[in-house]
């Protein structure tokens, strides 16, 4: 089964952006407090590693969408800046959804 979200380069950016955004919130909201307040550094190691892989995947998907002329340089830069901010990927998603709908 091929999801409409996965069939478009911008849809893939949106999907991985959401997952990456959730992983960032898990890292900041759960793993970091577990490390510093409960003495469980493994939480940051596991969640941080997963978040890092997702961030790299997002960067690759943004590059593919940009090189394929499905995202402008401005939108590509905004996605990457948003990925650095808590809740950022969720705010940029509306812009990406509109871009995806235009194609």
Task: Note whether residue 14 is domain-resident.
Answer: no
Low-confidence stretches of the chain (pLDDT beneath 50):
1
What count of other Cβ atoms lies within 10 Å of the Cβ of residue 9? 20
Q: Of the candidates 52, 46, 43, 45, which has an alpha carbon nearest to the alpha carbon of residue 83?
A: 52
Give, as one character, the DSSP assignment of residue 8.
Answer: S
The answer to whether residue 3 sits within a structural domain is no
Question: Quick one: pLDDT at residue 4?
Answer: 66
Total structural domains in the chain?
1
68, part of any domain: yes
| Domain carrying residue 94 | 21-102
Q: Phi-psi category of 86—alpha, beta or left, where left has phi over 0 and alpha has psi -120 to 50?
A: beta
In this structure, is residue 29 part of a structural domain? yes
Q: What are the tens digits of pLDDT across the range 74-93?
A: 999 999 999 999 999 999 99
Q: Do 27 and 47 touch, CB atoms closer than 8 A?
A: yes
In 3D, which of 97, 99, 91, 85 has the Cα closest to residue 24?
A: 85
- Would residue 4 count as lying in a domain? no
């Amino acid at each position: 089964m091929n999801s409409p979200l996965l069939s478009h380069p911008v849809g893939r950016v949106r999907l991985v952006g959401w997952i990456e955004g959730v992983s960032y919130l898990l890292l900041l909201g759960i793993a970091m407090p577990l490390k510093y307040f409960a003495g469980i550094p493994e939480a940051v190691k596991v969640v941080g590693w997963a978040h890092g892989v997702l961030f790299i995947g997002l960067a690759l998907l943004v590059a593919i969408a940009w090189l394929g002329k499905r995202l402008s340089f401005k939108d590509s830069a905004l996605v990457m800046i948003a990925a650095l901010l808590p809740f950022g990927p969720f705010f940029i998603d509306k812009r990406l959804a509109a871009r995806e709908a235009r194609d």
